[in-house]
Amino acid sequence: MKNLFKVMVIVTVASLLFVSCSKKTEPTAMAEEKKVALKVGMVTDAGTIDDKSFNQGTWEGILKAGDELGVTVKYLKPVGTTEADYLKEIGNLYDAGYKFIVTPGFKFETTIFKAQDKYADAKFVIIDGTPHNADYSEFRAEKNVISIFFAEHESGFMAGVAAALELKDGKFGFIGGMEIPAVQKFNWGFQQGIIYANENFGTTINLDAENIIYQGTFSDVAAGQQLAAQMFDKGVSAIFCAAGGVGVGAINEAKSRAQAGEEKWIIGVDVDQYSEGIYEGEKSIILTSAMKRIDVAAYDMIAEDLKGAFQGGATLTFNAANNGVGIPAKNPNLSADVTSKVAKVYADVQNGTVVVSAEQGSLIK
């Protein structure tokens, strides 16, 4: 019985810790006065809600909608990552009255394909994917589904231009996760950005084929660190990482080099990763980040629905023109001169003067 008592004490202490933690992250703390009837739910992909990527970006947008628009928000974490697990959580949200459901990631494509018929009176937003059936024989988005894509190439392009302008010469590298379209488009845009800067601003940046590598996973931290170390040893000064956990490894390598006095940079992806790269005080090795404004997309969809303007059945692309992609507004590692030059290029991309291709064309890999 003594043991049981010990266990009880441990459980109690552990739960008290949880209380203190959960208070801080309580998602439903929001402005009571602006309460509206809409309940917005989200089902997370593999990974946690604070993954600095898709889950977190989507949830931040939904949370903002909760604060500013007064909608009720909730996210659920599936037991596994199969279609059955995802659909079950959608069912749970639906049964609990959450009839506006946001799902981050292409892994939800077949799930939403089924859910759109099963829960015909609910609305779905799928990010980075479009509903289709299991064997890709049928692509179909009903009137209750919006598919959202991002112009990753434009984001990569802006990061390429900004990085080239700041460092002026030397070698750059690219580490990708898996060789899938979203990652490839980041790569191709990045290459075009460097070429643009070399041609228009007189920079001399080299991006050699040997320094463009797809690691093959989004999770192998150790491999990321090794790849980054090899590139840095070959004289590469900045690496663009569109690789999830692999990128974390690269960031760690750059941090340890920075602490040893070397000047090595990482260009972040998806969200502003500046805080990830801090190695001393406020100094970070994140030069800039190629962002996809997932939070903006999620927030906008909710806001439009409240106005009665839900664009059911549509496939929306978030690009520079609608401020859906780009680099962070504040880049402490970029000079004011670079920032203003980049702003001009961004305006050109927005108005179509500069066109960034989403295809490989003559680019490397």
Partner 1 sequence: MNLNSDKFRALWVALISVFLGLVAGAILMALTGHNPFEGYTYLFQGGLMNIERIGNTLATSTALFLTGISVAFAFKTGLFNIGASGQMLMGGLFATAIGLTWDLPKPILLPIILIASIIGGGLWALIPGLLKAKFNVHEVVATIMMNWIAYWTINYTIPAYFKGEYLETESRIIGNNASLRVEWLTDLFNGSYINLGFFIAVAVIIIIAIVLDKTVLGFTLKAVGFNKESAKYSGMNVNKSIILSMMIAGGLAGLGGATFYLGYSSNIQIGVLPAQGFDGIAVALLGANNPYGALAAAVFFGLLHSGKGFMNAMTDVPPEIGDTIIATIIYFAATSLLIHKFLDKITAFFKGGLKK
Q: What residue ranges bind partner 1 (CB under 8 A)?
A: 1, 3-4, 7-8, 11-12, 15-16, 18-19, 22, 25-28, 41, 44, 49, 74-84, 87-89, 91-93, 95-96, 98, 106-107, 110, 118, 134-136, 178-180, 216-217, 219
Beta-strand ranges (E) seen in the chain are: 39-43, 72-76, 100-104, 123-127, 145-150, 169-176, 204-206, 212-214, 236-242, 265-270, 278-280, 283-284, 286-292, 315-318, 325-326
Report the 10 Å Cβ neighbour count for 261.
Answer: 6
Query: What does the alpha-carbon distance between residue 239 and residue 250 come to, in Å, rounded to a whole number?
Result: 8
From the CB of 241, what's the least distance to partner 1, in Å? Answer: 17
Residue ranges in 202-332 assigned as alpha helix (H): 221-233, 245-259, 294-306
The residues, ordered by sequence, that sit 6+ positions from 183 with a Cβ below 8 Å of its Cβ are 152, 176, 177, 214, 242, 243
**Which residues are CB-neighbours of 244 under 8 A, at least 6 positions away?**
53, 177, 218, 219
For residues 247 and 326, which CB has a smaller minimum distance to partner 1 in the complex?
247
106/174 with CB nearer partner 1? 106
Nearer to partner 1, 8 or 355 (CB): 8
Minimum CB distance to partner 1, residue 173 (Å): 22
CB of 218 to partner 1, least distance (A): 8
196 vs 214, beta carbon nearer partner 1: 214
Q: Residue 56 Cβ, how far from partner 1 at the closest point, in Å?
A: 14
We find the least distance from the C-beta atom of residue 306 to partner 1, in angstroms, to be 21
Closer to partner 1 at the Cβ: 216 or 235? 216
**By C-beta, is 132 or 278 nearer to partner 1?**
132
Tell me how far, at minimum, the Cβ of 246 lies from partner 1, in Å. Answer: 13
